[in-house]
């Protein structure tokens, strides 16, 4: 049995024991101080096991990637008379080799010529096509919104999206009667390109060490930094100098439920939020909230006494709430007065536009006195919820 499966089974049993303890020790829905301490300890063990499972799953994914063959084996006879496809520009093998050589400061006229295809207007170089996919995948790993949003590439600074503002409808018509006009009306939403960047310093000794895997390190570290900052904007950004977020009061999701409390949520309010979303969106809907909010709702039951929250049971499965996938982020507001704390919806209606491509720049002199080299990564990206009705938010009461 795999370690991950073993931990999942342990977590499931622990959660069952935790629920049984709560059911047997609650009196009129309340735990005494001693029992509450015991329950919180058991519940925290469930959370800790969940984090450990996620860590092992990420580790397993990296192991699979590192163990994958560099080249695919030939399994059939090549077609005669048909030339192999030659990759050009920043997708070529020559550009890829030159790109990483110049980052290590191996410079020859041939390398400089090969890099001309990817020169960026601000002095850096566009990362090779295949490596850009690796970076974007790394950002997906560190960004819950990218995992469920609609993503597209654009070569221009702005991308206009036509949106149906109001829909036409059919009518019953008398015999030989005229068919009334009923047109759709359209609006436009613009996806721009905000700049995001970060800088890493690497010692000259490490760069000259051929054992040091520069590609993997940059993929993981730049991906973590850019992905985390993107996630923050995709969730709570106000659209000024950055993308607009899902929880933004103006451009984010629609308020589906206002809680009766400033710092608590009831089972009925979660169920009301679930059904406030149109059925067409509900079939693909996902929950998003802060982990502290998950802790607050873990004790909640429906009218039949069933817990609303359930742990994931299989490898790769997330925890669920009312049978729907549950994602958490530290950037989503915690339970507090007048805050939007829970989102439920079809997040494929949040569009992320990546302006191709990601750029790297080597800073040779800035940190030379300390024997280091700086590497600057920048990207242009925007995100926006294009259909606000596709995501419903729960808002806490304005004051306690």
Most confident by average pLDDT, 40-49, 144-153, 211-220, 372-381: 144-153
Q: Report whether 270 contacts 399 (CB < 8 A).
A: no
Find, among 395, 391, 393, the residue nearest to 259 by Cα. Answer: 395
Closest CA relative to residue 386, chosen from 195, 233, 160: 160
- The parent domain of residue 114 ranges over 89-119
Same domain flag for 162 and 256: yes
Whole-angstrom distance, CA of residue 64 vs CA of residue 97: 24
DSSP 103-138: HTT---HHHHHHGGGGB-TTS-EEPPHHHHHHHHHH
Question: For residues 323 and 363, is the Cβ–Cβ distance under 8 A?
Answer: no
Per-residue pLDDT reduced to its tens digit, 132-167: 566 666 666 678 899 999 988 877 667 777 766 666
Tell whether 251 and 106 lie within a shared domain: no
Per-residue pLDDT averaged across 266-284, rounded? Answer: 95
DSSP conformation class of 27: B
160 shares a domain with 94: no
Task: State the chain's mean pLDDT as an integer.
Answer: 79
More confident residue, 1 or 49: 49
Cβ contact 194:241 at 8 Å: yes
Which of left, alpha, beta for 123 (phi over 0: left; psi -120 to 50: alpha)?
left
Q: In whole angstroms, what is the distance from residue 276 CA to residue 139 CA? A: 31
260 shares its domain with 385? yes
pLDDT confidence tier of residue 186, bands split at 50, 70 and 90: low
Q: Could you tell me which of 13, 10, 38 has the C-alpha nearest to residue 24? A: 38
Residue 305 domain-assigned?
A: no
Same domain, 130 and 113: no
Question: What percent of the chain has pLDDT above 70?
Answer: 73
197: left (phi over 0), alpha (psi -120 to 50) or beta: beta
SS3 content of the chain, % helix, strand, coil (to 5): 40, 25, 35
Q: What is the mean pLDDT of residues 280-309?
A: 92
Over range 381-389, report the average pLDDT.
Answer: 91
Q: Is residue 322 part of a domain?
A: no
Q: Which residue from 375, 343, 18 is spatially nearest to 219, judged by alpha carbons?
A: 375
Length of the chain: 400
- 94 & 209 share domain: no
Query: Mutual orientation of helices 33-67 and 3-25 as an angle, nearest 10°?
Result: 160
Q: Cβ distance 332 to 393 under 8 Å?
A: no
Give the confidence band of 198 by pLDDT, cuts at 50, 70, 90.
confident
Cα distance between residue 153 and residue 132, in whole Å: 12
Q: What pLDDT is recorded for position 276?
A: 97
pLDDT of 26-37, one tens digit each?
A: 777 778 888 888
159 and 251 within one domain = yes
Q: How far is CA 160 from the centre of its chain?
A: 23
- Higher pLDDT: 201 or 181? It is 201
* Through-space distance between the first and last CA atoms of the chain, rounded to whole angstroms: 49
134 in any annotated domain: yes
Rounded to whole angstroms, how far apart are CA atoms 135 and 152? Answer: 15
Q: Are residues 283 and 396 in the same domain?
A: yes
The pLDDT of residue 20 is 86
Is 53 a domain residue? no
C-alpha span between 352 and 199 (Å, rounded): 23
Q: Is residue 79 part of a domain?
A: no
Give the Cα separation of 343 and 262 in Å (integer). 16
Q: In the structure, how many helices (H) and strands (E) does the chain have? A: 11, 14
pTM (2 decimals)? 0.72
Residues 191 and 206 in one domain: yes
Q: What is the pLDDT of residues 56-98, one digit of tens each?
A: 877 777 666 656 554 545 455 544 444 555 565 555 666 666 6
Bridge partners for 287 per DSSP = 326, 344
Q: Is 263 helix (H, G, I), strand (E, B) or coil?
A: coil
Output Rg (C-alpha) for the chain, integer angstroms: 26
Q: Is residue 5 part of a domain?
A: no
| 253, 386: one domain | yes
Per-residue pLDDT band at 383 (split at 50, 70, 90): very high
Task: Look at residue 337 and tell me if it is in a domain.
Answer: yes
- 197 and 115 share one domain: no
Pair (209, 128) in one structural domain = yes
Domain count, the chain: 2
Q: Report yes or no on 301 lying in a domain.
A: no
Name the band, by pLDDT with cuts 50, 70 and 90, for residue 211: low
Q: Of 110-114, 136-140, 172-176, 281-285, which range is least confident?
A: 110-114
Residue 389 CA: distances (Å) to CA of 63, 253, 271, 277, 345: 40, 7, 17, 8, 9
């Amino acid at each position: 049995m795999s370690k991950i499966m073993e931990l999942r089974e342990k977590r499931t049993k622990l959660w069952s024991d935790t629920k049984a303890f709560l059911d047997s020790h609650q009196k009129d829905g309340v735990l005494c101080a001693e029992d509450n301490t015991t329950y919180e300890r058991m519940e925290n063990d469930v959370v800790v096991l969940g984090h450990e499972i996620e860590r092992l799953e990420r580790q397993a994914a990296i192991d699979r990637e590192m163990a994958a063959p560099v080249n695919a084996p030939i399994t059939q006879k090549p077609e005669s008379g048909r030339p192999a496809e030659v990759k050009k520009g920043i997708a070529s093998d020559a550009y890829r080799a030159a790109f990483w050589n110049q980052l290590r400061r191996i410079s020859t006229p041939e390398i400089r010529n090969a890099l001309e295809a990817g020169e960026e207007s601000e002095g850096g170089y566009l990362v090779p096509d295949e490596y850009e996919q690796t970076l974007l995948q790394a950002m997906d790993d560190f960004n819950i919104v990218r995992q469920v949003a609609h993503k597209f590439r654009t070569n221009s600074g702005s991308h206009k999206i036509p949106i149906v503002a109001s829909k036409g409808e059919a009518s019953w018509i008398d015999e030989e009667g005229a068919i009334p006009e009923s047109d759709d009306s359209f609006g436009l939403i613009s996806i721009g390109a905000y700049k995001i960047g970060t800088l890493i310093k690497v010692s000259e000794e490490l760069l000259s060490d051929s054992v040091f895997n520069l590609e993997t390190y940059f993929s993981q570290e730049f991906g973590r930094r850019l992905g985390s900052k993107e996630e923050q904007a995709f969730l709570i950004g106000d659209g000024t100098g950055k993308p607009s977020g899902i929880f933004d009061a103006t451009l984010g999701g629609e308020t589906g439920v206002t809680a009766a409390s400033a710092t608590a949520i009831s089972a009925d309010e979660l169920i009301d939020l679930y059904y406030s979303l149109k059925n067409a969106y509900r079939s693909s809907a996902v929950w998003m909230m802060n982990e502290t909010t998950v802790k607050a709702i873990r004790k909640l039951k429906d009218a039949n006494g069933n817990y609303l929250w359930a742990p994931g049971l299989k490898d790769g499965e997330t925890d669920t709430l009312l049978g729907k996938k549950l994602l958490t982020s530290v950037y989503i507001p915690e339970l507090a007065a007048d805050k939007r704390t829970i989102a439920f919806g079809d997040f494929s209606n949040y569009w992320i536009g990546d302006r191709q491509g990601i750029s790297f720049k080597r800073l040779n002199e800035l940190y030379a006195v300390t024997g280091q080299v700086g590497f600057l990564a920048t990207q242009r990206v925007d995100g926006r919820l294009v259909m606000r009705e596709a995501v419903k938010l729960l808002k806490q009461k304005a004051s306690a």
